[in-house]
Amino acid sequence: MIKNKHSLPVLIVGQGLAGTILAHTLDQADVPFHILDAPKNYFTSSFAAGGIFNPVTGRKLEKSWLVDELFSYLFPFYTQLEKSLSGSFFHPMPLFRPFANEEMKSWLLERKESIDNEYLRWTDEGVWIEKAGWLDVENVLNCSKQYFQSKNIRQEIALNPSSDLEILREKILFQGQAYACVIFCEGFHAQQHNPYFGHLNFLPAKGELMKIKSNDASQEYILNKNGFLLPLGNHEFKVGATYRWDDFSNQPSTLAQLDLKNKLKSFGVDSYEEIEMSTGVRPATQDRRPLVGFHPHLPLAIFNGFGSKGVSLSPYFAQQWLAEWKGEGQINSEASIRRFYHLFST
């Protein structure tokens, strides 16, 4: 138990989506914090994200992990955040999954009764998914940066966890200031540079998407067919996304570009203007569960491993992180890093 918990601020390292959502959660609970983020040339996942939240997954349209809990939390959280930041970034929007072909259609319709759930609405052409939508992640990060800067609690700096922190038993010193805890929200960089948590089960996945302008697609819904076509307004769309596990550079690749153009063809979008490519590395994990919790011996913590679902997972788990920090609850055991405590030496 850390004695200084309630008197000293905490230090959040990384202001991608995870660090941002955790920071707002602490802010709403009046827990004092400072936040550090590396300069823009640092490579992030969040700035490349499509930002989609979708309650079902896979070919069998199953409800995704913990969806009822996550989604009942996600809507009020982002709506409230829009109000407190005076921003507009949360966009609920229907999502349509057309049947891939006649064979898939009969396969699904034969199993409709066992597959069906409250998020699905079946039609002859495919299935509509309720409670889906997208978060304009870039906008959230930019509004939040301004908000933290206006409170004078954000610094642009790439922390070197090995040399910049003085870790004592119950507090940590950074630039002469004492903190009750340092929470690492470094995305996939943690695996490469973090001496305290880098050995956890990260499985980073590079992803690319393309922004286009076209009159060939509907602006009313997100199309999901082995990839997605996300309407941004003004006839602009994001087309995504690719997956790769062998390259973590921030260079767009011609292979990914080709893959995205093939997706556009399969969506029936033939005429379009390419605007830009975005590249990021998702902080995914081998067991597809987040990495949330506390170092077993030091006043350090982690909020990471949200893979391709940062938008829907991070608000709920920020709340869980805070509850465990305050001694009022425990993080879900599938997401808590307690599952890896045997990997930490004493």
Contact positions vs ligand FAD (CB under 6 A):
13-19, 36-38, 42, 44-46, 48-52, 158-159, 185-187, 189, 207-209, 240-241, 280, 282-283, 304, 306-312
Crossing angle of helices 67-85 and 17-28, rounded to 10°:
80
Question: How far, in Å, CA of 105 to CA of 125, rounded?
Answer: 8
The residue number whose beta carbon is nearest to ligand FAD equals 16
- Nearest approach in angstroms of CB 241 to ligand FAD is 4
Crossing angle of helices 67-85 and 310-325, rounded to 10°:
90
- Nearest approach in angstroms of CB 345 to ligand FAD is 22
- Nearest approach in angstroms of CB 182 to ligand FAD is 10
Q: Compare residues 187 and 231 and give the one whose CB is closer to ligand FAD.
A: 187
Q: Compare residues 126 and 307 and give the one whose CB is closer to ligand FAD.
A: 307
> What phi and psi, each to the nearest 5 degrees, are found at residue 80?
-65, -40
Report the amino acid identity of residue 28. Answer: Q
Q: Compare residues 108 and 264 and give the one whose CB is closer to ligand FAD.
A: 264
Q: Compare residues 123 and 149 and give the one whose CB is closer to ligand FAD.
A: 149
SS3 108: helix
Contact 278, 206 (CB under 8 A): no
- Nearest approach in angstroms of CB 107 to ligand FAD is 26
> What phi and psi, each to the nearest 5 degrees, are found at residue 35?
-130, 135
Crossing angle of helices 137-150 and 17-28, rounded to 10°:
50
Q: Compare residues 107 and 252 and give the one whose CB is closer to ligand FAD.
A: 252
Question: How far, in Å, CA of 83 to CA of 244, rounded?
Answer: 37
- Nearest approach in angstroms of CB 51 to ligand FAD is 5
